[in-house]
């Protein structure tokens, strides 16, 4: 091997040694940039997951009570035939009430907010029944004795029916919590859904839109 060849090899080795720190530094910078981008994407994904979509009720906020959206709005109310509470086996068919404004109120005796609205609902019924408005309670799956005790305790005189053991009627209406109230017009169309305890002012506002009184 001649001197020139050896010299060229040394120069190449030296050049490679000089390049290594720059190459290592470039790799570190690339790794850091990629890591920061990944962290940024994860943060963005997380904020999207925890931020409610527009119009979606937020648990624990005031938007969980009052008028809320429903895929049933503007559509025929799901029909049902259910046994009347304390009706000795008699059943009520929702379709038989068509032609009247109906308030379907989902409740249960163990439900605290249902207890809060019970007296108000009774007052609403007393005021509006003479105007052709029907208030119909749908008791969630529970013992009939508990439901009857509730009715007696709050002196409820409007009719209630008992939902199926699997809560099938509530499911068909998309009811997510007790109490919920659905307003059905004379044509059998769902026109409003209220989540949480409802009062006379809320009911009157909805009924005034539906009734010529």
- What secondary structure, in 3-state letters, does 13-73 show? HHHHHHHHHHHHHHHHHHHHHHHHHHHHHHHHHHHHHHCCCCCCCCCCCHHHCEECCCCCC
Q: Is residue 59 part of a domain?
A: no
- Of residues 106 and 24, more confidence is placed in 106
Q: How many folded domains does the chain comprise?
A: 2
Q: Is residue 134 part of a domain?
A: yes
Q: Which two tokens stand for residue 137?
A: 């309670």
Instruction: Indicate if the alpha-carbon torsion angle 152, 156, 157, 163 is positive or negative.
Output: negative
Residue from 105, 93, 98, 104 nearest 187 by CA: 98
Same domain, 45 and 78: no
Same domain, 107 and 195: yes
Residue 46's domain comprises: 1-52
Question: Does residue 6 sit in helix, strand or coil?
Answer: helix
Which residue among 10, 28, 52 closes a domain? 52
Q: Is residue 202 part of a domain?
A: yes
Same domain, 186 and 151: yes
Least confident piece of the model among 17-26, 154-163, 196-205: 17-26
Least confident piece of the model among 13-17, 51-55, 150-154: 51-55
Q: Is residue 27 part of a domain?
A: yes
Mean pLDDT of the residues in the chain: 80
């Amino acid at each position: 091997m001649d001197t020139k060849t050896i010299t060229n090899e040394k120069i190449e080795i030296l050049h490679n040694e000089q390049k290594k720190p720059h190459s290592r530094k470039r790799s570190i910078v690339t790794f850091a940039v990629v890591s920061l981008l990944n962290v940024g994407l994860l943060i963005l994904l997380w904020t999207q997951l925890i931020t409610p979509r527009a119009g979606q009720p937020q648990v624990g906020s005031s938007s969980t009570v009052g008028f809320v959206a429903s895929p049933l709005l503007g559509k025929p109310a799901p029909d049902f035939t259910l046994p009347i509470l304390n009706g000795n086996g008699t059943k009520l068919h929702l379709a038989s009430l068509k032609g009247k404004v109906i308030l379907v109120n989902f409740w249960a005796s163990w439900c605290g907010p249902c207890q809060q609205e019970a007296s108000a609902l009774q007052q609403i019924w007393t005021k509006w029944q003479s105007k052709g408005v029907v208030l119909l309670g749908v008791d969630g799956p529970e013992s009939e004795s508990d439901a009857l005790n509730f009715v007696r305790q709050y002196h409820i005189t409007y009719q209630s029916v008992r939902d199926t053991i699997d809560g099938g009627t509530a499911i068909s209406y998309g009811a997510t919590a007790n109490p919920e109230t659905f307003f059905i017009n004379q044509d059998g169309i769902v026109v409003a859904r209220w989540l949480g305890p409802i009062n006379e002012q809320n009911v009157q506002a909805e009924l005034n839109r539906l009734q010529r009184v």
